[in-house]
Structure formats: structure tokens, C-alpha cells
Amino acid sequence: MKLAMEKLLAAGLLSASVISAPVMAMNIVLTNDDSWDTQNIQILKAALVTAGHHVIMSAPCTGQSGKGGAMTFLKPVSVDETKAAQQEFCVGDTDTRVAFEDYAEGTPVMAVLYGIDVAAQTIWGKAPDLVISGPNEGNNLGFMNNNSGTLGATMIALSRGIPAIAVSAHENTAHDAAQSELVANAVVEVVATLESSRPAGGPLLPAYTGLNINTPEDMSNHLGYKLTDVGWNSGGIELKFSDDLSSDAVLMGYMVQKLMAGGMDQVTAQATAQAAMQDKQGLSFGMGDAGDANANSEGNAVKAGYITISTIDGNVQAARAKVSLTEQRLLGLN
């Protein structure tokens, strides 16, 4: 089934020109883990609407990167409906004066479920045809997908039987509108290709199956679409715990970039980041490929300049060959 879907995508994407309008307008719930007030999600919403789709945005009120499948249990959660006329909603408390035991963050999983269970039912009277999570401000690749709020929202939608697509872009889309618009156009093209290649009477995607799309740094000169495997390579990034965050070149570079995107000059941004992280402990980033040099792993392909599309599902079952080898070693258990 995966191979058949990849053939359909390949036929539509790898050799076709950009599709400017969908075959059929769809009801789409759009979410992400960077909050509803980001350039990426706003530009993608506009692009989908322009293409003829009906879009509900339901995202966390605050940034929730790295939250994976996190949820807030046994607490009521605030929902901001002040932009309901634009079909935009955000989930989660924003008043930090609220006591810790009462404060309820709106995670990506919670936000997309609000979109599916409440907003879509109120506006359309039914579940959405598709969930799109992203575009994230930064790629989600390889093993790092396990930590991603972008993927967490995608997986919970798949568990409800709703086709879902995770989209993650380079960090530059946080402040480069031109790159963000190119990413949005690519997503619209993928959606149109899926719809135009849908078997008669068939689903948009096979049951419990989604896509993980990642776009490269320079969307103006990308190498085209590449159908990839998730693999292990996270694009050259690995997690580590540091006792001095200011010594982490990757983390500091990211912080400086964010500060400069907010209008700070480079010298001030570097000094500010250094002061904030000097002698502080915490989770940081290192360089590594998890030993995965396969050119078809999405982490390697996106670094090479491709728009990668990996087929995903919520099944963490190991491949049968690995299962057999492991089971043979456990036969002595009773």
C-alpha cells in the first residue's frame, strides 16, 4: 500500500508542473506547534484558502516545540475564540500569573483535537477531510520526529482515521516571507496531487497513513521532490545535555538568528545570547547523523536540497526481520 501511494505521488509531483487549483475543495484543519501567531501558519492558511479549500486554524496559543504527544490532563484549558470569524482558534493559558497547579498549556495534540472535535463539528458538522500540521520553524527529521509537536498533532489525527500531513521547513521561514510562501506553495501542490490521483471512491491516504514533508533551506533552488524514508538521520542534529549552554555553537547560532530576526544587530544579539546562557545547564544540540548515511533517509536528502516526502504511521513496530532475530533470543522465556 505504501509503494502504491508513493507511485501515485511520484507520477504527480516528480514530473508535473505546479497545480494551481484543487480538483475538489477540502475541509482542512491546520495546526502547528509554534503557535497560531506565526508567519508560516498564516501564509499556509492563505495559500490553502486561495486554492479553494476551507480551512480552520486550531493551534496552541504559545510556542510548544518539542512537546511531541504531550497533553494536559485533569485541568480545564482556555480557548481563545476572539478570531472565530476568521475560523482561527488557539488553545492554552497565556496568563503566566496563574498558579502552576492551575496553568494549562495547550499542546499541539490538544489544539488539533479542538479543531477536530469542536471547531470542525461547529462549522462543518463533521470531521475534516485532512489535517495539516505546520509548517514548523525548523525541520523534523529522523529520530527527532519522536520529540516533535508537529508530528504529535499529526499522529493523533491519524489515530482518529483522518488523513494527516506534517510539514517542517528550514528555520529561515520564521522571518523570510518569500521562503515561507514557497513552502506553502509546495504544500498546496502536494495536496492537489493527492486529490487528483485519488482512486475513485478511495481515501485521500490509506488508513492510519500520513506524510512527513520537509523543505530545504533554499526553496528558490530546491532539487525537486524526493520520496524518502524517515531513517535515523535528523539532518545533522543530535540532542545532548550541557553544563554550559553558551559553549554550544549550534544553540547559540540559533538564538542569535532569532534575536536578529527580531531586529537586533548581530553584535548585540551575540552578547545577549552569551549573557543569557553563560554557565547555564540544559538541553542543547550537537552535530551528528545517528550513523545513518543512507541517501534516501530524509535527513540526508533535505540537506542535499530536496523537498522530502516520507510515508509515516503511528506504528512503532520494528521490521519483521529485526523482530525475528530478537524473538529467537527470547525463546527461553516462559
Give the residue numbers marked as catalytic.
168
| Neighbouring-strand partners of residue 168 | 136, 214
What is the 8-class DSSP label of residue 239?
A: E
Dihedral of the CA atoms 282, 284, 288, 289 (nearest 10)? 100
Question: C-alpha distances in angstroms, 165 versus 139, 249, 309?
Answer: 14, 32, 10
What whole-number distance in Å separates Cα of residue 135 and Cα of residue 259? 20
Q: What is the CA radius of gyration of the chain?
A: 20
Listed residue (78, 86, 87, 47) closest to 60, CA to CA = 78
Identify each DSSP E strand in the chain by its residue range: 27-31, 54-60, 79-80, 88-91, 130-137, 164-169, 209-214, 225-228, 237-242, 282-287, 307-313
Give the amino acid at 241: F
What whole-number distance in Å separates Cα of residue 189 and Cα of residue 183? 10
What is the 8-class DSSP label of residue 128?
A: -
